Amino acid sequence: MRVCIVTPYDLSCDGGVNRHATSLARALAALGHHVRVAGPASGAVPEGCDALGSAVPVAANGSVARVGLLAPERRTRDLLAAGRFDVVHVHEPLVPGPARHALRVAAAPVVATFHCAAEDEPLLQRAIRLAGAAPLARVAFAIAVSRAAKRFARAVHRGRIAVVPNGVDTARFAPAGGSPRRLPGAPLRLLFVGRFGEPRKGFRVLLDAVALLRRRGIAVALRVAGDGGSAALARRCAAVAPAFLGRLSDAALAAEYRAADVFCAPSLGREGFGLVLLEAMASGCPAVASDIPGYAEAARGAALLVPPGDADALADALVRAAEDRVLRARLVAAGCARAEALSWSRIAGRVAAAYRAAGAAGAARPATAA
């Protein structure tokens, strides 16, 4: 099949949805499909991707995303027409920009994936989502990355929604195989991955947990992969002194997962799944995460879960995951098994089946007029 995957988020920046889109494209290509990924971009784009206009920052769902709010619809229309695609796969179809344009103008069957989830969605935001739901009638097959994302999507899409989880590249993210773990007296090596400046990611809770551990006399080395901090957060970090690594390549990130004693995902909520959680588990790193629906579903018992926002519980869990050998071995084994079940080679096959179902439904309609 000829497939165009359209993301609403800046292809020049890293993020969960874009990592999903580009990883899926690689996995589909390995299955023999021709795949392009398209979306807005503020700069250079990864190989195999097409820029469909510029991106601007927009605040939504407790985050700030760079989306193609001002990207011209014509660019999307021209790309889809020239590509003669068999299916158009739109991610986050309610987000303004190229993904939304593709939903309107695609002549091929449309598959849509919903990633977002929110436990406490404001009424105004819900009203805006409902008002923008009409073009979803074009969707021939809908996917949600988790049950939490499906519940969130159900308010705007009444058709069938199949749950197909995020995948993980188990070739890129894999255990080191017999690598040494924490030595007696060595600092507890913790890893955080994500946009640490966003309150919903819970990084401040992790800082509080690290401070608690140090007051108990436990040496901690906190490493942070990602960006998005502020001056105020930097001042708060001063006492903890984490090592900020910036955005990393997959190879460098995999090395960080393998070197860490514990990976921590302390998000407060609004997580559709937990891609970084999967990457850590695939790499053989024990994971401690907030007990929120998206993370609980991603881990399926393969991570140690704690109440979101509870720094004391988080501190206790981090020590247990590092020092309880039986628990640690169980988390590593369960994490690797869970990651293997969600390898992109398996997930891509399920997505390809959704493409075939969309084609069989005969839902393609003529592109709308400009």
**Mean pLDDT of the 78-101 span:** 94
What pLDDT is stored for residue 364 in this prediction? 44
The rounded percent of the chain whose pLDDT value lies above 90 is 67
**Mean pLDDT of the 83-89 span:** 96
pTM: 0.87
Find the range with the poorest average confidence among 162-171, 177-186, 247-256: 177-186
The confidence band for 368, taking pLDDT boundaries of 50, 70 and 90, is: very low
**Secondary structure (H, E, C), the chain:** CEEEEECCECCCCCCHHHHHHHHHHHHHHHCCCEEEEEECCCCCCCCCEEECCCCEEEEECCEEEEECCCCCHHHHHHHHHHHCCCEEEEECCCCCCHHHHHHHHCCCCEEEEECCCCCCCCHHHHHHHHHCCHHHHHEEEEEECCHHHHHHHHCCCCCCEEECCCCECCCCCCCCCCCCCCCCCCCEEEEEECCCCCHHHCHHHHHHHHHHHHHCCCCEEEEEEECCCCHHHHHHHCCCCCEEEECCCHHHHHHHHHHCCEEEECCCCCCCCCHHHHHHHHCCCCEEEECCHHHHHHHCCCCEEECCCCHHHHHHHHHHHHHCHHHHHHHHHHHHHHHHHCEHHHHHHHHHHHHHHHHHCCCCCCCCCC
Task: Dump pLDDT digits (tens) for 19-75.
Answer: 999 999 999 999 999 999 999 999 999 888 999 999 888 876 666 778 888 899 999
The confidence band for 363, taking pLDDT boundaries of 50, 70 and 90, is: very low
What pLDDT is stored for residue 124 in this prediction? 46
